[in-house]
Amino acid sequence: MKLSIRRASAPIAALFGALALAVGTACAAPSGQPVRIGSTLALTGPLASTGIVHQIVGDIYVEQLNKKNGLLGRPVEWIVKDDQSKPDLARTLYEQLITVDKVDLLMGPYATGAILSAMGVAQRYNKVLVHHTFGIPSLAKYDAQFPTWSLGPDPAATFPNTLFDALAAAGKTPKTVAIVTSKFPSVHFMSLGAREAVKKRGMQEVVFLEWEFGNRDFGAIAARVKDANPDFVWVGAIGLEGNQLLDAMKKIDYTPPLHFYMYPAPGPMAQATEAKNALAATIFEEHPPYLSNPGAAEFVKLFNERAAKAGIPYTQVETQAAASYSAWQVLDAAVTATKSLDDKVLADWLRKNKVDTIQGKLRFDGPSNYGDDLMAVKQVQNGRWVTIWPKSVAAPGATLMTK
Amino acid sequence: MGAPSFSLLAQSVLSGVFIGALYGLLGLGLSLSWGLLRQINLAHFALAFLAAYLCYQLSATGKIDPLLSLALIVPAFFALGVAMQWVFARFDITPFNSLLVTFGLTVIIEALIQLIWTADFRRLESGYGDAKFKLGFLYVPAPELLTLVLALALSFAIWAALRHTDVGKALRAAAEDGPIATAFGVNRQALALMLSGVCTALAGVAGVCIALSYTLAPAQMYGWIGVVFAAVMMGGLGRPLGPLFAGIVIGVSEAVTMALTSPSWAPLVSFSLLILVLLVRPRKA
């Protein structure tokens, strides 16, 4: 018996040794000069409530990278500066990141204005700019910018159709539509697209209203929507505007039969009782099939924990966090595949290849380096967001709720 | 677009009165400190938001009724105002410098709010939020009605105090001609401390009203500055009733503009009215 154990122990030890070596190689601590990735985020100022989401995501991804093998076997260092929600400051800081901090790679800032500023700087220095929250694809002219918010090249034409398809599939095609919208650029053009879709589909637009971003009093707008009595209300709102309008509607005892909000603040809207059955656009929610995408389940768990620790009231992963994580996945994939930090090599590879991300496969070979419009329709159901359309990404069993 | 219904117009006017009352309440302390203390206190907005967050916190963790929180916030803010005035007097800050100093204070208070409550949105959940009643065909929300009542009560009380009490007369005299007032025995320093305390306490009251009706985010404090300044200028500096009436005129004009034309025209209203007032009555503000 002793002999047989001794005999068996040699190959077992060898096997364990080989395994340990393999695991050790795969997870070897990164060493050498760090790869420096530079970006700015809106850590203060009016966009800071979302900026912090991107900071948490970046921290998580860099930690995950460094726990594995870093990038190209080197540790990763993320230099993030506060652009105070100011695009002009973002421009200066990106210039600094490239010329003073001498970062190897860039990651985009938060929101369209700052990204546009960063894009100009990246173009001047021929740097690749992967970015996560650019809302107006037609303005992305630089050929080495790569968007990970999968809007598609013409979301104003594609997304309203996705939305009205969702309503039609549920047998709820509206006859009359009210379109009310903020003049905030990245939602305004989407609302104009919705107007076109309404016209093309033979629905009647009963009211069209625009307000300046920063409007405080939604009472009169709510009263006008109520007066028009539409079957469906498209609200081109960003951030809290959707909640403000809902609040004003509630005060005059009005509940729209069906209502959609372009880019609402996800937490406040999901938690507001008056937002029951509200619809919105999304690229990721915390349910299958999204959770089966590469890295999604682990990321969701980590994000939930970190967001709670950071004191963020809404700790779920949705569009912002998902687009942000995808941006890091895209940059990681390009460096890993090319084994290079050279911007030209990375840009060439990204243009020719698709990347698996938590929101699905992204490609960058369309107009302005945009690929498919992966935006889906979600709805507040029982106090949480659930994707309902298209069926390929809908939560199991989820359909449009109207009551 | 067809003619708006009467109910739409009436509801819009009511909505304008309510928001105008908040403009007036925010403008009341600002107008008094500008007109009587010669301080352009930009930090008034930041202090109002600080009070709003305190009200939120007291309600969320201490389960204190938002209206009862006034019993804590008002004295605390009065003391804060007294302290601020003491510093201002100690360093002999001029009206122009007060603008710069209070702007700096605003940025510091905003950073402090963000540090404590984060930049994320906070919503005060209270029984008042959903409370409303119907008056004929008009819906009257309770938090906004409360704001209107407080704005009217405080504006008229301060107007009466300035007009009919010795302290009020002394304050007006000190603002009119400080050295002469001193010669008549008016203690300007003590009055300034008291008035600064009252103005800051008024910011606290406005903050509680903001918390009752609005979702909070630190950077939102800047959104109120333009229109409230317009109300203060239109209403006249140091006149307690002026900001309230000017605020209501602006609020109703904005609401009617939104009801009749494109809501995107509304922001032009306050400044157009201000320019008109300055053209017609240049010595008013």
Give B173→chain A minimum CA distance, Å.
38
- The pLDDT value given to residue A318: 94
- The pLDDT value given to residue A109: 97
- The pLDDT value given to residue A47: 84
Instruction: Please state, in angstroms and rounded to a whole number, the distance separating the CA atoms of residues B103 and B279.
Output: 28
Compute how many other C-beta atoms are within 10 angstroms of the C-beta atom of residue A302.
19
- The pLDDT value given to residue A98: 98
> A209 CB contacts (<8 Å, ≥6 apart)?
A178, A179, A180, A181, A221, A224, A225, B258, B262, B263
The CA distances from residue B88 to B28, B37, B84, B108, in Å, are 20, 11, 6, 17
Instruction: Please state, in angstroms and rounded to a whole number, the distance separating the CA atoms of residues A107 and A58.
Output: 10
- The pLDDT value given to residue A20: 44
Q: A with B: how many residue pairs have Cβ under 8 Å apart? A: 123
Instruction: Please state, in angstroms and rounded to a whole number, the distance separating the CA atoms of residues B243 and B65.
Output: 28
B118 in A contact zone (CB under 8 Å): yes
Mutation site, A83, A183, A208, A217, interface B, largest B CB count within 10 A: A217
- Identify the residue with better confidence: B276 or A92: A92
Whether residue B88 is predicted with pLDDT greater than 80 in this model: the reply is yes
DSSP A356-394: EETTEEE---SGGG------EEEEEETTEEEEEESGGGS
Q: Mean pLDDT of all residues in chain A?
A: 92
- The pLDDT value given to residue B1: 53
Hey, which residues does A387 pair with through a beta bridge?
A: A378
> Both tokens of residue A132?
């996560």
- The pLDDT value given to residue A17: 47
Contact across the interface for B258 and A251, Cβ inside 8 Å: no
- Identify the residue with better confidence: A113 or A312: A113
What is the rounded average pLDDT of the residues A237-241?
Answer: 89
Contact across the interface for A215 and B267, Cβ inside 8 Å: yes
What is the rounded average pLDDT of the residues B225-250?
Answer: 94
Q: How far is CA A133 from the centre of its chain?
A: 6
Beta-strand pair A384-389/A376-381: antiparallel
Contact across the interface for A267 and B141, Cβ inside 8 Å: no
Contact across the interface for B218 and A223, Cβ inside 8 Å: no
- Contact residues on chain A for B123, CB-CB shorter than 8 A: 268, 271
What is the rounded average pLDDT of the residues B120-131?
Answer: 85
Contact across the interface for A44 and B215, Cβ inside 8 Å: no
Give B203→chain A minimum CA distance, Å.
18
Is the distance from CB of A122 to CB of A82 less than 8 angstroms? no
Which ipTM value was assigned to this complex? Answer: 0.83
Whether residue B107 is predicted with pLDDT greater than 50 in this model: the reply is yes
C-alpha triplet A158, A164, A165: angle, nearest 5°: 85
Whether residue A16 is predicted with pLDDT greater than 60 in this model: the reply is no
Whether residue B284 is predicted with pLDDT greater than 70 in this model: the reply is no
DSSP B174-228: HHH-HHHHHHTT--HHHHHHHHHHHHHHHHHHHHHHHHHHS-B-GGGGGGGHHHH
Each residue of A113-167: pLDDT tens digit?
999 999 999 999 999 999 999 999 999 999 999 999 999 999 999 999 999 999 9
Domains of chain A: 35-153+288-369 (3.40.50.2300), 155-284+376-393 (3.40.50.2300)
> Both tokens of residue A76?
């990763």
Helix or strand run (H / E) with residue B159: helix B142-164
- The pLDDT value given to residue A19: 45
> A327 CB contacts (<8 Å, ≥6 apart)?
A107, A108, A130, A131, A132, A148
Domains of chain B: 6-125+132-280 (1.10.3470)
What is the rounded average pLDDT of the residues A280-306?
Answer: 97
CA dihedral B154, B155, B156, B159 (to 10 degrees): 120
- The pLDDT value given to residue A393: 97
Sheet of A129-131, strand order: A76-82, A35-41, A105-107, A129-131, A145-147
Hey, which residues does A360 pair with through a beta bridge?
A: A357
- Contact residues on chain B for A217, CB-CB shorter than 8 A: 15-16, 19, 251, 254-255, 258, 266
B215 in A contact zone (CB under 8 Å): yes
Contact across the interface for B114 and A212, Cβ inside 8 Å: no
User: A-side interface with B, Cβ within 8 Å?
Assistant: 44-46, 48-49, 51-52, 85, 183, 207, 209-212, 214-217, 219-221, 223-224, 226-227, 240, 243-244, 248, 250-253, 265, 267-268, 271, 310-314
Contact across the interface for B19 and A248, Cβ inside 8 Å: no
B71 in A contact zone (CB under 8 Å): no
Whether residue A10 is predicted with pLDDT greater than 60 in this model: the reply is no
Each residue of B9-47: pLDDT tens digit?
999 999 999 999 999 999 999 999 999 999 999 999 999
Residue of B nearest to A273 (CA): B130
Provide the strand spans (E) within A123-231.
129-131, 145-147, 176-182, 204-211
Give me the residue from A49, A212, A223 closest to B121, CB to CB: A49
- The pLDDT value given to residue B283: 63
Give B120→chain A minimum CA distance, Å.
4
Whether residue A23 is predicted with pLDDT greater than 60 in this model: the reply is no
Contact across the interface for A253 and B139, Cβ inside 8 Å: yes
Residue of B nearest to A241 (CA): B215
Instruction: Please state, in angstroms and rounded to a whole number, the distance separating the CA atoms of residues B261 and B257.
Output: 6
The CA distances from residue B266 to A235, A240, A358, B118, B280, in Å, are 18, 19, 42, 31, 22
| One-letter identity of residue A79 | I
* Among B197, B276, B267, B265, residue whose Cα is nearest residue B19: B267
DSSP B76: H
Each residue of A263-273: pLDDT tens digit?
998 888 998 88
Contact across the interface for B263 and A210, Cβ inside 8 Å: yes
Q: Could you tell me the pLDDT band of residue A312, with boundaries at 50, 70 and 90?
A: confident
> B3 CB contacts (<8 Å, ≥6 apart)?
none
| High-pLDDT (> 90) share of chain B, % | 79
Tokens 């009263």 belong to which residue? A223
- The pLDDT value given to residue A201: 97
* Among A361, A275, A273, A358, residue whose Cα is nearest residue A319: A358
Residue of B nearest to A51 (CA): B119
- The pLDDT value given to residue A25: 43
Contact across the interface for B263 and A211, Cβ inside 8 Å: yes
Radius of gyration of chain A (CA): 23
- Contact residues on chain B for A240, CB-CB shorter than 8 A: 121, 215, 217
Contact across the interface for B114 and A252, Cβ inside 8 Å: no
Give me the residue from A216, A252, A310 closest to B223, CB to CB: A216
B20 in A contact zone (CB under 8 Å): no
- Identify the residue with better confidence: A376 or B217: A376
Instruction: Please state, in angstroms and rounded to a whole number, the distance separating the CA atoms of residues B40 and B42.
Output: 6
- The pLDDT value given to residue A60: 98
Give me the residue from A44, A226, A252 closest to B114, CB to CB: A44
- The pLDDT value given to residue B281: 74
Whether residue A18 is predicted with pLDDT greater than 90 in this model: the reply is no
Is the distance from CB of A284 to CB of A303 less than 8 angstroms? no
Burial class (CB in 10 A: 0-12, 13-18, 19+), A375: buried
What is the rounded average pLDDT of the residues A260-285?
Answer: 93
Each residue of B48-75: pLDDT tens digit?
999 999 999 999 999 999 999 999 999 9
Hey, which residues does A205 pair with through a beta bridge?
A: A177
B264 in A contact zone (CB under 8 Å): yes
Tokens 């906070």 belong to which residue? B122
Contact across the interface for A217 and B251, Cβ inside 8 Å: yes
Each residue of A170-182: pLDDT tens digit?
999 999 999 999 9
- The pLDDT value given to residue B2: 62
Longest dimension (CA), chain B: 66
- The pLDDT value given to residue B285: 52
> Both tokens of residue A368?
């302005």
Written in H, E and C, the secondary structure of B88-100 is: HHHCCCCHHHHHH
Hey, which residues does A76 pair with through a beta bridge?
A: A35
- The pLDDT value given to residue A15: 46
Q: Could you tell me the pLDDT band of residue A6, with boundaries at 50, 70 and 90?
A: very low
